[in-house]
Chains A and B, each alone.
Chain A
């Protein structure tokens, strides 16, 4: 198992390298000139030429890429074209808020989603199932900006329980994580339900019941473990996306996270920031995939690779 993990970790490096090339090319091929956007509205043609030179954007593309790679290897992720701040600082400052929000959202959406999913699957076609699925469909269908603004109106303005936004205390996490988590809880609920329903049809489940095991143990200890495999994949993917930052939730709740940074950088053609964020994003997915594979191994020993 350990050898497998080690091999996978090493494999990440060449994949990342290829990703840097792809990211670099894509970002630089988008139409739009960052020099003009940085120089601003009042700029003259000479200003823009100055800005272009100062940003190193007048050199040919392959040379820019080599420079870029050279700096990345030394841990220098460049300077933002827009704010002149070091990119690593900018991303560092915004990473933790996004990370913790993702973790909190994930925790409660997994708990709620699993609960609803299990109840729906076990009480199939009874009223609990219908209620559960209606809640799930609503969670997926309700647009997050609407849900967020409604929660702010209700819980922050009307009731005054929570702040309207920003990141000030533990209370700031509640409304945004509910908004973010509702869609994910819904997806987890549906996946759990369908996966568990399939597993409950299996022979070993019938054997367990025939053996006289308590229903609760049959479901939670035996059936669920196997039903969880597709759910774990889905959860991993969702967590990966959350780590990239949700632009909508971050905008509505003025959350100082990576999502808004990404959108602002794209609008501004802030190449160094876009590239570094996308690199981070790719790395997060690679790591999550690895973790998911390891969890598979624990869930179902038959899947362990050697």
Chain B
């Protein structure tokens, strides 16, 4: 027995020493950025870059895509009439300008001259009509049909002028045209490939398609006939799906990848500034919230909902859940969403929360269930909320669920009175960058499940009317005024605990300039270049 004991002990000691050797070199890296053997200083040869992302692309057909990752890949090859800049402002791309009629039912676009698709087909009004007709036709069963279901018809006025007529007023239509779903596909390619266009993208963008092996890599190369002179500045881009955070960071360290996203918040500080790696973070349009079922006791009492808001320390939430990479949410939508209007944050005040609960008739608190997804970030957030609410007497049972089960539980309910849901931890990104898409699907009474995402079952007639009114016109001033009112009403009614706005995070080598993530989480490499 003695021999066994010493044998095991000896082995463990040796093993431990080996591990300690690994980890001590890690800490010396943090302290002295220049003196480390782990992150190699890479001199870039050539103009081909590799971008490591978190998942596989699902499709390369922008009309049939609803995930931001596939949109990012598509944006290297496709462009729309308009697009978003790094602050989510709408900028003209294939269109030079537009006009709208007073009641936002007709939008006329003046198109750019001299642009060709990558297969040589000229870009003109007819091409635009083909694309919009495809999107608006329900029988094509495209995932993005809903964004264009409001289109009645598209008219070619002349070669470079096209008019889109809507079935009803929709003031946010211009945002829809800036959305990646509205990028223009070559009509000749659509005819040639039909449904297979998802595997054979042909657009007007800076890079053209080379090959795609799903699960392994996607490669695009420079478009020699791109309409912006002098661009693009890279020769090729290869995308690689690398699901494991640790492996993705390792690729950046070894130089196998020049750009990676997302960067897990825990690893950001470790690599930032080391031997040529930079990690950048910027506010996104993604908001995180705790929805409260306003139709169920005790949540139907405004005081209870206010109490929940006062009970949660939002600054601490950002520190704990996002490792500091985020900001407190101070309205229904994020600051860089169009028509955002700042509200007064419910400051952390557990005493006030307890007082409000007492006034509402719950001096000893109550029990509640919290539903949410089961990823590690979500679980952390839910545990944080549980802990905070426990301090004011609200006992929360966390129920993490995988997405299929959760969607079943939320969307199989047809009558709001039958809804089991109480508290729900969710996130939302209004991909059109407009207040309408950030508010209506979440808080208008038309959006109760199963129609859409109003898990708070919030119904306020005044808010509903203002939301509708804001769509009746394309005039930005009128819409801004309406949304300011809506945000105040919703904020005061507190159907949510308003939590935080996520940051976008990406890591890259410092020789790669002008490659970044937009607030909607999509990638923009149209101006990317290498500067040693």
B411, A167: Cβ atoms under 8 Å? no
B451, A45: Cβ atoms under 8 Å? yes
B243, A251: Cβ atoms under 8 Å? yes
A264 to B213 alpha-carbon distance, docked (Å): 17
A131 to B8 alpha-carbon distance, docked (Å): 8
A94 to B215 alpha-carbon distance, docked (Å): 8
> Is A267's beta carbon under 8 Å from chain B?
yes
A261 to B64 alpha-carbon distance, docked (Å): 21
A82 to B215 alpha-carbon distance, docked (Å): 14
Across the two chains, which residue of chain A brings its CB closest to B138?
Answer: A50
Kindly list the 4 A-B residue pairs having the minimum CB-CB distance in the complex, ordered from nearest.
Answer: A32-B404, A40-B66, A256-B215, A164-B250
Please give the distance in Å from A298's CB to the nearest CB on chain B. 38
A36 to B403 alpha-carbon distance, docked (Å): 10
Q: Given the complex, which residues of A lie within 8 Å of B407, measured CB to CB?
A: 32-33, 36-37
Across the two chains, which residue of chain A brings its CB closest to B447?
Answer: A44
Which residues of B1-40 have CB atoms within 8 Å of chain A's CB atoms?
Answer: 3-4, 7-8, 11, 15, 22, 25, 37-38, 40
A94 to B25 alpha-carbon distance, docked (Å): 37
Given that A37-B407, A260-B243 are known contacts, is A43 also in contact with B216, CB under 8 Å in the complex?
no
A33, B411: Cβ atoms under 8 Å? yes
Within the complex, which residue of A30, A47, A138, A156 is in contact with B143, where a contact is CB–CB below 8 Å?
A47
> Is B141's beta carbon under 8 Å from chain A?
yes
A165 to B249 alpha-carbon distance, docked (Å): 11
**Extra pairs beyond A40-B67, A51-B143, A166-B217 (5, CB < 8 Å):** A32-B404, A152-B250, A153-B250, A157-B38, A165-B244
17 contacts between A and B (CB under 8 A): A33-B412, A34-B404, A43-B143, A43-B146, A45-B450, A83-B58, A84-B195, A93-B214, A145-B244, A149-B244, A149-B247, A152-B246, A158-B25, A165-B251, A166-B242, A254-B240, A267-B404
| A residues at B contact (CB < 8 Å) | 30-34, 36-47, 50-51, 53-54, 82-85, 90, 93-94, 127, 130-131, 134, 138, 145, 149-150, 152-154, 156-158, 160, 163-167, 251-254, 256, 260-261, 264, 267-269
A164, B256: Cβ atoms under 8 Å? yes
A83, B66: Cβ atoms under 8 Å? no
- In this complex, which of B213, B214, B441, B450 has the most chain A Cβ atoms within 10 angstroms of its Cβ? B214
Q: Given the complex, which residues of A lie within 8 Å of B143, measured CB to CB?
A: 38-40, 43, 47, 51
B254, A33: Cβ atoms under 8 Å? no
B-side interface size class: 35 or more
Please give the distance in Å from A158's CB to the nearest CB on chain B. 6
A165, B195: Cβ atoms under 8 Å? no
Within the complex, which residue of B3, B67, B146, B408 is in contact with A130, where a contact is CB–CB below 8 Å?
B3
Given that A93-B214, A260-B215 are known contacts, is A269 also in contact with B404, CB under 8 Å in the complex?
yes
B145, A47: Cβ atoms under 8 Å? yes
Which residues of B21-65 have CB atoms within 8 Å of chain A's CB atoms?
Answer: 22, 25, 37-38, 40, 56, 58-59, 64
- In this complex, which of B4, B149, B195 has the most chain A Cβ atoms within 10 angstroms of its Cβ? B4
> Is B418's beta carbon under 8 Å from chain A?
no
A82, B58: Cβ atoms under 8 Å? yes
> Is B274's beta carbon under 8 Å from chain A?
no
B3, A33: Cβ atoms under 8 Å? no
A134, B8: Cβ atoms under 8 Å? yes
B240, A130: Cβ atoms under 8 Å? no
- In this complex, which of A44, A45, A82, A167 has the most chain B Cβ atoms within 10 angstroms of its Cβ? A44
Across the two chains, which residue of chain B brings its CB closest to A32?
Answer: B404
> Is B253's beta carbon under 8 Å from chain A?
yes
- In this complex, which of B40, B407, B411 has the most chain A Cβ atoms within 10 angstroms of its Cβ? B407
Within the complex, which residue of B195, B214, B241, B247 is in contact with A253, where a contact is CB–CB below 8 Å?
B247
A-B contact count (CB 8 A): 145
B11, A134: Cβ atoms under 8 Å? yes
A30 to B214 alpha-carbon distance, docked (Å): 27
Across the two chains, which residue of chain A brings its CB closest to B19?
Answer: A150
Q: Given the complex, which residues of A lie within 8 Å of B452, measured CB to CB?
A: 44-45
A51 to B138 alpha-carbon distance, docked (Å): 11
B59, A37: Cβ atoms under 8 Å? no
Q: Classify the secondary structure of A's interface with B.
A: helix
A160, B4: Cβ atoms under 8 Å? no
A42, B243: Cβ atoms under 8 Å? no
Across the two chains, which residue of chain A brings its CB closest to B246?
Answer: A149
A268 to B305 alpha-carbon distance, docked (Å): 34
A44, B404: Cβ atoms under 8 Å? no
B141, A157: Cβ atoms under 8 Å? no
Q: Given the complex, which residues of B lie within 8 Å of A158, measured CB to CB?
A: 22, 25, 37-38
Across the two chains, which residue of chain B brings its CB closest to A261?
Answer: B215
B11, A153: Cβ atoms under 8 Å? no
Please give the distance in Å from B220's CB to the nearest CB on chain A. 18
B7, A134: Cβ atoms under 8 Å? yes
Given that A44-B452, A51-B141, A254-B241 are known contacts, is A157 also in contact with B250, CB under 8 Å in the complex?
yes
A50 to B137 alpha-carbon distance, docked (Å): 12
Given that A90-B214, A134-B7, A256-B215 are known contacts, is A150 also in contact with B253, CB under 8 Å in the complex?
no
B254, A256: Cβ atoms under 8 Å? no
Q: Given the complex, which residues of B lie within 8 Å of A46, measured CB to CB?
A: 146, 149
Which residues of B210-237 have CB atoms within 8 Å of chain A's CB atoms?
Answer: 213-217
Please give the distance in Å from A141's CB to the nearest CB on chain B. 12
A51 to B402 alpha-carbon distance, docked (Å): 21
Given that A37-B404, A93-B214, A267-B404 are known contacts, is A164 also in contact with B247, CB under 8 Å in the complex?
yes
Across the two chains, which residue of chain A brings its CB closest to B67?
Answer: A40
Please give the distance in Å from B402's CB to the nearest CB on chain A. 7
- In this complex, which of B58, B59, B244 has the most chain A Cβ atoms within 10 angstroms of its Cβ? B244
Please give the distance in Å from B231's CB to the nearest CB on chain A. 29
Q: Given the complex, which residues of A lie within 8 Å of B15, measured CB to CB?
A: 138
Within the complex, which residue of B253, B404, B441 is in contact with A30, where a contact is CB–CB below 8 Å?
B404
> Is B531's beta carbon under 8 Å from chain A?
no
B11, A39: Cβ atoms under 8 Å? no
B441, A42: Cβ atoms under 8 Å? yes
Q: Given the complex, which residues of A lie within 8 Å of B242, measured CB to CB?
A: 165-166, 254
Q: Given the complex, which residues of B lie within 8 Å of A82, measured CB to CB?
A: 58
Q: Given the complex, which residues of A lie within 8 Å of B244, measured CB to CB?
A: 145, 149, 165, 251-254
Please give the distance in Å from B424's CB to the nearest CB on chain A. 14
Q: Given the complex, which residues of A lie within 8 Å of B284, measured CB to CB?
A: none
> Is B198's beta carbon under 8 Å from chain A?
yes
> Is B376's beta carbon under 8 Å from chain A?
no
Please give the distance in Å from A92's CB to the nearest CB on chain B. 12
A26 to B240 alpha-carbon distance, docked (Å): 34
Q: Given the complex, which residues of A lie within 8 Å of B4, measured CB to CB?
A: 130
Please give the distance in Å from B63's CB to the nearest CB on chain A. 13
Across the two chains, which residue of chain B brings its CB closest to A42?
Answer: B66
A141 to B197 alpha-carbon distance, docked (Å): 48
Which residues of B396-418 have CB atoms within 8 Å of chain A's CB atoms?
Answer: 402-405, 407-408, 411-412
Q: Given the complex, which residues of A lie within 8 Å of B441, measured CB to CB?
A: 42
Q: Given the complex, which residues of B lie within 8 Å of A94, measured CB to CB?
A: 215
A31 to B216 alpha-carbon distance, docked (Å): 31
A204 to B201 alpha-carbon distance, docked (Å): 71
> Is B504's beta carbon under 8 Å from chain A?
no
Q: Given the complex, which residues of B lie within 8 Å of A156, measured CB to CB?
A: 250, 254
A85 to B15 alpha-carbon distance, docked (Å): 47
A260 to B54 alpha-carbon distance, docked (Å): 13
A158 to B37 alpha-carbon distance, docked (Å): 7
Please give the distance in Å from B336's CB to the nearest CB on chain A. 19
Please give the distance in Å from A99's CB to the nearest CB on chain B. 15
